[in-house]
């Protein structure tokens, strides 16, 4: 197949690596890509946010499938433009993408579909926020309603800090004040063709910047898959997945279909396992980052078949995806100052040496070409790259990942040293 992947991060690089691994004959294009993606796909000079430009490019270049990675093109309606011209696209239309684009929209859909979630209050002013704090109590959970690149959420017992966070986002529109939910978190991806869903393997990510879940929230500093501890509570991973499929994914997909906004693409369910059962924290309308980096390397079923079936409305003909017994972890290398004020433009060394570690692949998130031929790549963002390690068990996978990470040089950079530590014990 000829496949165009929109996006420039580690999620998109992971998707491209999975597509390459299943069949070397695929021709893979990426827009805009990054320095790492350029090693595994042909970069295309097309604006990923311009639906008309993407559609024309796909038509002119005989693209068989477009895969939209990030949220911004989805909310911009790029998938709608492609579908109007009959081009298979994996990613929801603008209306359905509001499931991620608007926290308030997602809460309304969950309520209509009877999906278990925490209480939430929409606050349009500081006075509304104060009232909601009084009602829901501490710890305080404040969420920007729109897209905020993973930085719009704060969870804190410091009322002044929570109020300042709300005040920062209120000029852009109302914020959501939510009930604090306690318990382990799980990320679960569902492929959807608007009617049928197929679940992938669960993962857990690490949002806080530093070891021991300390520091500010980030876009994710690492992840691992599968989650062996699900067996203890639910009997098996499959039992857990079936429960979430029935209680969360299918009701939401059917609700959106009934509203005339079918969800075609990747439904990301951010879940929390409370003492009162499974509840949804949030939905995303695309593959999660960094969970994609650990879920896709374990996928045995060809990814392209699943994506094309979802885009074509034939997912019911696909059996449940099959995963290997291997485990995978990913550790994120972040620039100095991330997430508040990342320092960019610094050289990255040791990548070739790191890539030589058995079971490891380097997945690029924010890298650019060297300043001079043969030179080192340059870090261009907060989360620079992922070390992804696949092994027979978590102890082996962790050893490989940190061996590789310690071979990479980036001045001032930091990474968490406790990714998957508990499951490796």
How far is the C-alpha of 143 from the C-alpha of 279, rounded, in Å? 17
Cα 71 to Cα 10, 97, 196, 286, 311: the distances in Å are: 14, 8, 22, 7, 17
Listed residue (365, 358, 418) closest to 208, CA to CA = 418
| Predicted pLDDT at 101 | 83
Q: Which tokens go with 269?
A: 């369910």
- Which residues sit opposite 109 in a β-bridge? none
Q: Which residues contact 425 (CB under 8 A, 6 or more apart)?
A: none
- Paired tokens of 54: 């993407």
3-state per-residue secondary structure call for the chain:
CEEEEEECCHHHHHHHHHHHHHCCCCEEEEEECCCCHHHCCEECCCCCCCHHHHHHHHHHCCCCEEEECCHHHHHCCHHHHHHHCCCCEECCCCCCCHHHHCHHHHHHHHHHCCCCECCEEEECCHHHHHHHHHHHCCCEEEEECCCCCCCCEEEECCHHHHHHHHHHHHHHCCEEEECCCCCCEEEEEEEEECCCEEECCCEEECCEEEHHHEEEECCCCEEEECCCCHHHHHCCHHHHHHHHHHHHHHHHHHHHHHCCCCCEEEEEEEEEEECCEEEEEEEECCCCCCCHHHHHHHECCCHHHHHHHHHHCCHHHCCCCCECCCEEEEEEEECCCCCCCCCCCCEEECHHHHHCCCCEEEEECCEECCCCCCCCEEECCCEEEEEEEEECCHHHHHHHHHHHHCCCECCCCECCCCCCHHHHC
Residue 341 and residue 323: Cα distance in Å, rounded?
38
Which residues are bridge partners to 305 per DSSP? none
Predicted pLDDT of residue 102: 83
pLDDT at res. 121:
87
- CA distances to 49, 165, 245, 323 from 248, rounded to whole Å, are 30, 29, 6, 22
Q: What token pair was written down for 422? A: 């508990």
Mean pLDDT by 10 residues, the chain (425 residues): 98 98 95 97 97 98 97 95 97 95 88 93 91 91 71 85 92 89 95 98 97 93 97 95 98 97 97 95 94 98 98 97 98 97 97 97 96 86 98 98 98 98 93
Structure tokens at 276: 């009162």
pLDDT at 146: 66
Q: Which residues are paired to 385 by β-bridges?
A: 333, 364
Contact 20, 14 (CB under 8 A): no
Total-model pTM: 0.93
What tokens appear for 64 in the block?
């068989």
- Rounded to whole angstroms, the Cα distance separating 132 from 73 reads 33
Say what the pLDDT of residue 286 is: 96
Residue 171 phi/psi, 5° resolution? -60, -20
Phi and psi, residue 211, nearest 5°: -55, 150
Position 158 scores a pLDDT of 92
Q: Are strands 2-7 and 65-68 parallel, antiparallel or unpaired?
A: parallel
């Amino acid at each position: 197949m000829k496949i165009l992947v929109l996006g420039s991060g580690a999620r998109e690089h992971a998707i491209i690596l999975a597509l390459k691994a299943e069949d070397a004959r695929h021709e893979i294009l990426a827009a805009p890509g990054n320095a790492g993606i350029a090693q595994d796909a042909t970069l295309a000079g097309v604006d990923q946010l311009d639906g008309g430009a993407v559609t024309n490019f796909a038509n002119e270049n005989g693209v068989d499938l477009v895969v939209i990675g990030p949220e911004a093109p989805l909310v911009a309606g790029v998938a709608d433009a492609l579908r109007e011209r009959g081009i298979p696209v994996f990613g929801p239309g603008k209306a359905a993408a509001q499931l991620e684009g608007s926290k308030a929209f997602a809460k309304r859909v969950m309520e209509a579909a009877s999906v278990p979630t925490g209480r939430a209050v929409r606050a349009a002013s500081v006075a509304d926020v104060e009232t909601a704090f009084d009602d829901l109590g501490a710890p305080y959970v404040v969420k920007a309603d729109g897209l905020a690149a993973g930085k719009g959420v704060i969870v804190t017992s410091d009322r002044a800090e929570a109020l300042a966070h709300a005040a920062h986002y209120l000029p852009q529109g109302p914020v959501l004040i939510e009930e604090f939910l306690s318990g382990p978190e799980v990320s679960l991806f569902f492929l959807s063709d608007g009617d049928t869903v197929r679940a992938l393997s669960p993962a857990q990510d690490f949002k806080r910047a530093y070891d021991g879940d300390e520091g500010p929230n980030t876009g994710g500093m690492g992840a691992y898959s599968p989650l062996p501890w699900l067996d203890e509570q639910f009997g098996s991973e499959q039992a857990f997945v079936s429960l979430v499929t029935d209680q969360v994914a299918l009701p939401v997909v059917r609700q959106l279909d009934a509203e005339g906004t079918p969800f075609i693409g990747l439904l990301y369910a951010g879940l929390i396992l409370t003492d009162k059962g499974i509840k949804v924290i949030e939905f995303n309308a695309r593959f999660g980052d960094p969970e994609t980096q650990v879920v896709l390397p374990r996928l045995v079923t060809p990814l392209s078949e699943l994506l094309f079936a979802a885009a074509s409305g034939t997912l019911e003909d696909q059996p449940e995806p099959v995963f290997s017994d291997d485990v995978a972890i990913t550790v994120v290398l972040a620039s100095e100052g991330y997430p508040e004020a990342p320092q960019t433009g610094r050289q990255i060394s040791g990548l070739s040496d790191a890539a030589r570690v058995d079971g490891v692949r380097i997945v690029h998130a924010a890298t650019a070409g060297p300043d001079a031929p043969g030179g080192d790549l340059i870090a261009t963002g907060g989360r620079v790259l992922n070390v992804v390690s696949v092994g027979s068990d978590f102890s082996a996978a962790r050893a490989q990942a940190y061996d590789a990470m310690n071979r990479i040089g980036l001045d001032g950079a930091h990474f968490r040293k406790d990714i998957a530590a508990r499951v490796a014990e």
